[in-house]
Chain A
Amino acid sequence: MKFDMFRVHFGDVGEWNERRWAMQKTRRVASAVVGCGLALSVLGGVAAAQQPQLPASDKPAAILVWPKIVVDTSDILETSVGSTDTLIQLSSAVPTRGSKAGDLPFLKQAHCFYVDATGHCSNNPSAGCQSSDDCIDEGSGITGSCDPGWTEVDFDIRITPEQPLAWLASEGLQNGDFPIQVPGTCSNNPRIACTSDDRCGGFKCILQPSNAGSGIPPTPEDPFVGSLTCIQFDPSSNPPAPDTSPTANGLIGNAAIEVVLDETGGVDVQKYNAVGIEKLCTFPAGATNCTVGAPISDTLILGGPAGPAQYQGCPARLILNHLFDGAEDAFEGSGPVTTDLTLVPCGNDFLRQTPGKVTAQFLVFNEFEQRFSTSANVDCFFESQISNIDTPNNERSIFHFNVAGTLAGQTIIRGIGSAPSGQGLLGVARVFMDGINGAAYNLNEKGALSTPDVITIP
């Protein structure tokens, strides 16, 4: 029998058995195709149920990243326009079950890491800096270099269902400052704190979710410029480990950078939502299963191939809508606009104290649809006025109105690189009118990285 891609030729009656066999074979092939297709459909459906969305700042998540935390209470940094501190808010979105006993299993633990990216002056290592402008010795007139730094400080916060918490980055929260310090109260006298029945003289100790065991240090130095990452842990496991329970995505947060302005004595507030990365979960028959991915260890896998991935992947691209630096804002004649961009790598090695390293590529469009591009290294933490990304001379920058020629622009930011912790980026932007009054806003995201980012925890 001669087989042709589109036609099957059969000879005379003598080939009846072959024809019959061919028909059976064809039916089997067709059935197999349909079966495979349906199987693919089912798998597609399952994959869709597992299909991770991108990190978001408007939904509860398992990992929260605040890309920018600033403390400069003495207004030391040249880039500061006044004394600065950050009010950090963290809340549990895990619903309460309506009783203390019912809520006990839903106590969560946020295992947090301050990343201190403050530089230090070569001529005065104890002095924090952001640029060499901060390193001028007024006595000798000698300018040192601002050497970049990267250290991390970790701490734990226990947070009860639906509880809102807040602290100043410069102060933290110590034992006694938390709202619910008491792990239990005696049934015969709620004013008596207890952890076991022994304390209650024969009566029951009613345990409750509490903040006991929490401690938030102040930022390790002042001035401080860096970021904060919190990972949702399950405190009931021994030792506490990243949460894989059905309520694994329970944290929401935001930060308000407040500046008491030198020039006017007034106050400026820049608020943004923490970026949330969800634990991957499936939803078989109305249940929630968040044990998706490789078994939890000290290595958290964000995105990448479906098998090992434990958390959402980081975005393939960030989109920054901005006004070009130097553009005059017509309203109130308030002077030129500037935008400040902060980027942090999605992945970090907190165990070996090795920061993530990514090269950020920038593709800039103006309102004429004209296109420009540049790149910059993101080594642990990147912060820059956008017109300083590609040049120290702002007015020659592709991010400056003088070059771009229009007020509004769109910049697409893509991370590339081969660092073990991955190439994903997260960020936040701040726009300033006249260099003083600012507002923070979250970046948009597009597409998911096909390669994983990795967070390694001690």
Chain B
Amino acid sequence: MRTIQYVRAGCLISTLAACIMMAGSARADVSTERPGSLLIFPKVVQAGGRETIIQITNTGNSVDNLHCFYIAGQDGPSGHPLCQITDFFISLTKQQPTHWDVSTGRSVNPTDSIEGFDPGVIPPVAPGFTGALVCAEVDADTSPVAMNKIKGEATLEGPNGDISKYNGVAIQGSSPDNNNILSLNPNGVEYDACKTAAIFNFIPDGAPDPIIEALGDGGICSSGTRSGLGCNNTGDCPGAGATCLTGQSQVLNTITALPCNLDFQTQVPTNFNLGYLVIDGDEVTHTTSSGPLSCWASINLSDISQAVSTAVGGPLAGPVASMRITGISGGPVLLVGESFHVDSERDIGAAAVNLHMTGLCQAPGTQAPDLTQTCTTTADCPATWTCISSQSSTIKLPALNP
């Protein structure tokens, strides 16, 4: 008997050790291309002639329940962000995709014109809504679970029929505690942590768009029968002495930030600041930071003086620049970038893009990572520094069960 007990004990110990080792090194991740347990759409808009379609898919072979939260980031009567939270539940069957327009939401009505299994009652957002959507996998008792099965996209439509699209950010979970405080940690034990910094490659704000200048209405006729109208070259401007004044197109950029620290229990907004480091093609760097921000922010790069092109009086030369963004207070943030390409006749083409994510080095004894030092691993950092690839945060879900 003891023989068997020893053998069984040995097997158990070795199995447990293997499990601990594998769990400890489990590669949970924050990704825009893999399913996760938390799905975050940092930019949701129903304002200014724009609408958003949300698509979410259960990539697993069992039912997946989600507890979702709209965060209203638009300014209220006080001039400060509302930071209002609206939550709802949806349930997706195996491999089920679903969708809804944020302006209309979705009801549970098999006879309505929206075909497909209705995932649940989804409220519409109020007109003028600009904010974010966060969804978390939960079980039937609304306790968090980590099945890592959800993925999604947001399509921003309008105005005038233009669209842009980005992938929701999925955060993978491992083994959440049976409480409603979701711990996003670099060790990934509950959920993986948000990355320390993001990289946005962009055409300097206000610079002409090279393709519009080459192929489209990059200029305005100086005189003649088409005076003041769009042109590509002087041949488009009939009339004696009329010329095409080129360089009238512009690229404008925005970044949208949502802090990873979210409190849906008390609905206290997270106050945060962003740090920016801009690098142009000549490797000249410029640094600055945002003012205080609260709960959600959409920032025009034209408001960041260091991100502005020399074409409109800023410091950035060259056709392209790179911006590094990090949360310098309030914890890490998730970001989406969007560029607006405007021709001389003010027609706009928009394109949203997920930002690249990176870590930052931190010197010993300092309070925060250094925005000037990116890293993937500690080997990228100066001697004695450490690579902070991600930072801890918490998402507090409301406790629905007493």
Contact = CB atoms under 8 A, between A and B. Distances in A.
Interface of A: 6-8, 22-23, 26-27, 29-34, 36-38, 40-42, 44-45, 48-49, 51, 53-54, 56-60, 73, 83-85, 87, 89, 91, 93-96, 98, 160-166, 168, 170, 179-180, 246-247, 249, 252, 254, 256, 258-260, 264-273, 281, 283, 286-288, 319, 321, 323, 329-332, 334, 365-369, 371, 405-410, 431, 433-434, 436-446
B263 interface: no
A292 B282 CA distance: 34
A321 B33 CA distance: 11
Contacts of A59: 356-358
Interface in B64-121: 93-99, 101, 103-104, 114-117
The secondary-structure label for the interface of chain B is: mixed
A252 B320 CA distance: 14
Given A91-B199, A164-B322, A168-B211, A26 B6 contact: yes
A60 B356 contact: yes
Contacts of A26: 2-3, 6-7
B141 interface: no
Interface string B359-389: 0010000000000111111111100000000
5 contacts: A40-B14, A45-B25, A265-B347, A329-B157, A408-B57
Interface in B111-133: 114-117
A266 B20 CA distance: 58
B217 A265 contact: yes
A94 B358 CA distance: 11
Chain B interface size, as a band, is 35 or more
B299 interface: no
B34 A163 contact: no
Given A31-B10, A58-B32, A431 B155 contact: yes
Interface in B23-45: 24-27, 29, 31-35
Contacts of B201: 89, 91, 164, 166, 252, 254
Contacts of B376: 60, 93, 249, 288
A442 B116 contact: no
The secondary-structure label for the interface of chain A is: mixed
A53 B25 CA distance: 13
A30 B35 contact: no
B240 interface: no
Which of B53, B155, B322, B349 counts the most chain A CB atoms within 10 A? B349
B348 A267 contact: yes
Given A33-B14, A365-B96, 20 more contacts: A33-B7, A33-B11, A40-B18, A44-B18, A48-B27, A51-B27, A54-B34, A91-B201, A95-B380, A180-B281, A247-B380, A258-B211, A258-B215, A260-B211, A266-B160, A267-B343, A410-B97, A434-B161, A437-B161, A439-B352
Contacts, number: 342
A96 B279 CA distance: 11
Contacts of B115: 367-368, 405-407
A37 B14 CA distance: 4
Contacts of B281: 163-165, 179-180
Contacts of B212: 258, 260, 267
Interface in B307-326: 318-322
Interface string B265-279: 000000000000001
Given A252-B199, A433-B157, A41 B18 contact: yes
B349 A85 contact: no
Contacts of A283: 377, 379
Contacts of A407: 99, 114-116
B21 A42 contact: yes
A357 B68 CA distance: 42
B7 A29 contact: yes
B152 interface: yes
B171 interface: no
B14 A36 contact: yes
B356 A264 contact: no
B216 interface: yes
Interface stretch (B162-170, B288-296, B393-401): B162-170
Contacts of B343: 260, 265-267
A264 B6 contact: no
The 10 closest A-B pairs by CB, nearest first: A37-B14, A367-B116, A266-B347, A48-B25, A33-B10, A30-B6, A260-B216, A271-B351, A179-B281, A288-B379
B95 A446 contact: no
A59 B33 CA distance: 11
